[in-house]
Amino acid sequence: MDERRVAVVGAGAVGTTAAHDLADRGRAVTLYEAETVAAGASGRAAGICYDAFAEDIDAAVADRALSRFRTLDADPSFDWSFTPRPYVWLARDGDARRAAAISEQVPRMQAHGRRVELLDGDDLATEFPALRADIAVAAVARDAGSADPGAYTDAMAERAVAAGVTLREETPVELRAGDEHPHVVTADGSTTYETVVVAAGAHTARLLGDAGLPIPVKPYRVQAAITESTPLAERSPQLYDATGGYYCRPRGDGLLVGDGTEPVERDPDDWDRDADDWFRADCIEHLRAAFGGSTADGDNAAVPELDRAWAGLCTATPDGNPLLGERAPGVVVATGWQGHGFMRAPALGERVARGVCDGEWLDPFDPARFDGDESFDIVEGMVVEES
């Protein structure tokens, strides 16, 4: 067995990054994708990127991801762009519980070196006059930005192939882990690898479960929409309204709005990819909540119409932390991002390569902390709570 042969299953943002970084470290990598590059969650993600985490490991991973994003943005050979843009999260008047949570989070983030600030409603209105002014408290992360997740994933897949990775799209696989080394089974037959990395998003739990390696991960449905062109796109930060439970960011000359989280486990092969009518209606209300007050010149903000909307799948774990590490000898799992996968993909893919090559994993993300059959409720990743 060639100890340098590695398979990566799943050509999303994390999988393509891991494949590239493994090849860059001398591994012979085959990247399998059941559909096409970025066809899953990475092609449907919001593209909001920030380092505003109160836990030390999360903050360090996010900081490394942003550093790599900026490096790639400066590389003319990488067909992708990263737009620096503040990330604001807020609680509105009357929401004392979430206001207290935000006020508690910011000093913890600052203690981990994050460049975040606590703002009151007047400070927020001065800096971002397009937003409504009924704010109890807000925080702003300065080291943040936005990007097109699909473009990143496509560009990273191209770079991985240039680094020697064999990309096999339209190739569904099964995993066999009962022998001395894991096997990847396709319609063409079975191939043995020293290591198999399963980064197949919502399909990861099923692939591993069918191989006798259960993990506690549940796919759940989320929704997003893009508006028609609006001047608000030039004046808005990236925004998470903790009171309203929605996020918003400029995307092109429109706004991307996200909400519609359904805390219900979904079949990764049987779910509705179109947005619901109730979600579309909610998006208009969210935009009114965000911008329905005064704009910079004192006129009422015009709420734009929606251009298109869609649904995607995220993955949840019992404690909200990812599963990243060895599930069994030679079998690595990378899933459970709780909606934060793309924004950390450059660092997570790099961590996969370090783990496979050097045995260096992140203990809080160790899959061995679970038995694999845990019962738990789905909690969306953007909930603002006190520690």
Q: Closest Cα to residue 350, out of 334, 364, 331, 336?
A: 334
Do the domains 84-143+219-316 and 5-47+148-216+318-369 match in fold?
Answer: no
Contact 87, 238 (CB under 8 A): yes
**Separation of alpha carbons 163 and 273, rounded Å:** 34
| Domain boundaries defined on the chain | 5-47+148-216+318-369, 84-143+219-316
The fold of 5-47+148-216+318-369 is: FAD/NAD(P)-binding domain (3.50.50)
Q: How far apart are the first and last CA of the chain?
A: 48
Indicate the CATH number for domain 84-143+219-316: 3.30.9.10
Q: Sign of the CA dihedral 153, 159, 165, 168?
A: positive
pLDDT in tens, the chain (387 residues): 556 899 999 999 999 999 999 999 999 999 999 999 999 999 999 999 999 999 999 999 999 999 999 999 999 999 999 999 999 999 999 999 999 999 999 999 999 999 999 998 899 999 999 998 899 999 999 999 999 999 999 999 999 999 999 999 999 999 999 778 999 999 999 999 999 999 999 999 999 999 999 999 999 999 999 999 999 999 999 999 999 999 999 999 999 999 878 999 999 999 999 999 999 999 999 999 999 843 444 444 578 999 999 999 999 999 999 999 999 999 999 999 999 999 999 999 999 999 999 999 999 999 999 999 999 999 877 666 665
